[in-house]
Structure 1
């Protein structure tokens, strides 16, 4: 399976980059994983709702340009479905068994995802009701994908 993480912005902190690269390397034996970064828009302090929507739309258009019609898209969103690690693993396994060969996870910027991206998504996934920095979310997502493949292959993982 090919897994793509499309995310807004770049990771500035080396320790986050190193962590994501480590999980990407570990995942190499299970799947092909790539990370696509799209440019983020600067949001002025006290931006109006209309301006925030314009910013999300611009970022959303950049995200959508990296998603093909055949991709199964999972958008990370606070109001998405929550799954534990075993459920996520089973879901990824099931998608593969049902012919989904290209899985794309989407992580939005500081304002979240545009309506267009959420409409394109096949599902929404929530890791928590809490808000996390998008740089940290990349690490958490990469680790959970790696953990999923360990579970799928019956290999040990920390519970």
Structure 2
């Protein structure tokens, strides 16, 4: 299974180093692709076909780390790539073909920070699935 993150905007300091850190950590567990688009209008054009697509949204499903790891395992068992969509500063527009909505919590996060939180949770979920300690 490949994990694709489609996000509005180019990652900028101070978040670049954090994104690279989690990309390296995740490389042991999963194939990760990050696709950066210029604006919300470009999101729909960059969604991979036939992937299971989850839109990060305030009104999405709220999962703790264990439940998120089970969510990932279910996607893996289905044999489809998994795509996460992160909209711009004002959230993502309505997009066709969204299979799921995921909330990172009730706080409003800058979209660049939301990307880091998602990458960290993907890493943590893979550690859980591998039966490795995940609190550090």
**Residues 1:144 and 2:121 aligned together:** yes
SS in 1 for 2:33: strand
Normalising by structure 1, we get a TM-score of 0.82
SS in 1 for 2:46: coil
SS in 2 for 1:121: coil
How many residue pairs align between the two structures?
136
SS in 2 for 1:120: coil
Q: 39, 46, 52: which one pairs with 1:72?
A: 52
Distance 2:106 2:52 in 1: 24
Give the structure 2 partner of residue 21 of structure 1: 20
Give the structure 2 partner of residue 8 of structure 1: 8
- Deviation, 1:68, is 2.5
**Residues 1:103 and 2:102 aligned together:** no
- Deviation, 1:67, is 1.3
Normalising by structure 2, we get a TM-score of 0.95
Specify which structure has the higher proportion of helix.
Answer: 1
* TM alignment of 1:46-125, pairs within 5 A: 59-60=40-41, 62-100=42-80, 102-115=81-94, 117=95, 119-125=96-102
Distance 1:26 1:154 in 2: 16
CA RMSD between the two structures: 1.2
Distance 1:128 1:68 in 2: 26
Structure 1 runs, 4 residues or longer, greater than 2 Å off: none
SS in 1 for 2:43: helix
Distance 1:69 1:91 in 2: 20
Q: Deviations over 1:91-147 (max 9, x none)?
A: 1011111222x11000000111111x2x42100000111110011111100000000
